[in-house]
Amino acid sequence: MAFLHGATRTHSGPRSGIKSRSITPYLLLAPGMIWLVTFFIIPIFSLASTSTMVRPEGAQIGTYVQELRFQNYVDAFVANQEQYVRSFIYAGIATLLALAIAFPLAYTIAFKAGKYRNVLLVLVVAPFFTSFLLRTVAWTQILGDEGPILSTLKLLPFIDDSLRLTATPFAVVSGLTYNFLPFMTLPLYASLERIDPRTLEAAGDLYANGFTTFRKVTVPLAMPGVVAGTLLTFIPAAGDYVNAALLGNPSTKMIGNVIESRFFAVVDYPTAAALSFTLMATILILVTLYIRKSGTDELV
């Protein structure tokens, strides 16, 4: 009996250990899954339900009933297609400008900064220490009629005195580029910093000049950072509304401005929800095509 009792204890121990180990991953995932379900899955379903509602005739503003009217999507897109297309154009231009600025910056920090590397990285993320709204308001002063940029430009003989930079597409794109520049710079730096300098030296040993080394070695190795940076810049820029509201005019409104107005001013929840879903679907399709085209499917 003692032998059997001991055998029973011997066998039950490993089983309980295996059971405990099998439960541990799920316990670790639980907080994240609860957060995801509460603040993403449930709101997504709520938004989907709202997008097919209609306002009954004679009902007060803000009162809607579910009738599964998918025509809301078509009506919302047709009525706001100009702002919809403009959002992607502005976001695309801002992303290209951010890439053109961030790549040399990240390259310099990764390979040339030396002991000043940490200082430069702090300067890159320093804008995050202030509010997004305040940074955008600051650009109204920088690009204003009495601001440093326009004042300097007007010193040139071929610049018209009536030139304005605020309330223009230039101002909106400039604000988008500036505000999302760190999102482009940091992934690029992370990719470039991982490149072994001996790889670049080997390219030189094989008689590659500086430009060929950059094109054939540096850029391909930095592609994960390029893809991540462009996605982190383009996606929020396409849905942004602060820059267009503060730096633009009615003719430079983006789809984010329309959604914000429909939700809070017009109280047209179905149209706002339909536009939000259309924007998300379009971004998802573009991101998937972009990642597959760039050959970095593992990032999905």
Structurally, the chain folds into a number of domains equal to 2
Q: Under a CB-based contact definition with an 8 Å cutoff, are residues 150 and 165 in contact?
A: yes
Give pLDDT tens digits for 261-298. Answer: 999 988 899 999 999 999 999 999 999 898 888 765 55
In a domain, 66, yes or no: no
pLDDT band at 226 (very low <50, low <70, confident <90, very high): very high
- What's the helix, strand, coil split of the chain in %, to 5? 80, 0, 20
Does 34 lie in the same domain as 149?
no
Q: Of 122, 214, 212, 223, nearest to 113 (Cα)?
A: 122
- Domain containing residue 11: 2-51
Inside any domain, residue 59:
no
Please answer whether residues 157 and 81 qualify as being in contact, where contact means their C-beta atoms are separated by less than 8 angstroms: no
Residues 190 and 274 grouped into a single domain: yes
Residue 246 exposed, middle or buried by CB count within 10 Å (0-12, 13-18, 19+): middle
Beta strands in the chain (DSSP E): 53-54, 65-66
Residues 28, 164, single domain; the answer is no
Separation of alpha carbons 195 and 118, rounded Å = 18
Question: Do 96 and 28 lie in a common domain?
Answer: no
Residue pLDDT, tens place only, 104-114:
999 999 988 88
What is the per-residue pLDDT across 72-126, written as a single tens digit (0 to 9) for each? 999 999 999 999 999 999 999 999 999 999 999 999 999 888 889 999 999 999 9
Judgement on whether residues 99 and 227 belong to the same structural domain of the protein: yes
